[in-house]
Amino acid sequence: MTTQNQDTDATRAFQALDDDSSSVRLRAAMAVGTAPDPRFVGRLIERSAVEPEFYVRDMLTWALTRHPASMTVPELLGELRSERTQARSQALHTLSKIGDRRAWPAITLALLADADDEVARSAWRAAVVLVPAGEEPELAAVLATQLGRGERETQLSLSRALVALGEAMVSTVRAATTDPDPRVRAHALATERLLRDPDAGFAFAIEEAKRVVALGGAGGEE
């Protein structure tokens, strides 16, 4: 293929990423991921920040993972400072998929406690992927400050992140089962149950934990 043809294809793909049709945008992202081109990195990240369709965003992330981390990670780190919540959440999601631990210092306390639930959830997932060996207990302590936050979907995301840290989270979550806030206690108990029995449904675990809290207990190993 000649350089001119390549430039023409690139121009068409650039335009297709902004097409009104989500299926066209999906195919454009797939095409870019199939034939990675450094010229597309910035454009893929820009589109990720505004793309309304989940499955297209997922394809944009995949396309970014097909490019060298040396090109994508610095650009994604810049997005973490964006005022646009979707830009932050998608950058975090993509960093978790790339898995380059050089991004770890950018996973700040501010992101882990972001006021937007989707950003915070993405930060939790990225953190457990990127945390350096030996720093898991410190991360667990930070994540535990978010126990009791949000609705069930957000709570499940946090519990899964904590469970992914394994034994490193046990003492911190155990301490939270005696927190003065009943929502924190119930969430901590549900997380403990999820660690002991990964196949247990979270909805059941949280309801059981609420009953324990209502009865004035903190649960414990059977």
Report yes or no on 201 lying in a domain: yes
Q: What letter represents residue 174's amino acid?
A: R
pTM above 0.85, yes or no: yes
Q: What is the pLDDT of residue 11?
A: 72
* Amino acid sitting at position 47: R
Same structural domain, 176 and 112: no
**6 assigned to some structural domain:** no
8-state DSSP, 113? T
Write out residues in the chain with pLDDT < 50, as ranges.
1-5, 219-222
Choose the final residue of a domain: 76, 101, 130.
130
Domain C-terminal end among 130, 165, 186: 130
Average per-residue pLDDT for the chain: 89
Alpha helices in the chain (DSSP H): 3-16, 22-34, 41-48, 54-65, 69-79, 85-98, 109-112, 117-130, 136-144, 152-164, 170-176, 182-196, 202-214
Position 198 scores a pLDDT of 74
Give residue-wise pLDDT tens across range 79-111.
999 999 999 999 999 999 999 999 999 999 999
Q: Which of 130, 153, 174 is the last residue of a domain?
A: 130
Same domain, 21 and 122: yes
- The answer to whether residues 67 and 95 belong to one domain is yes
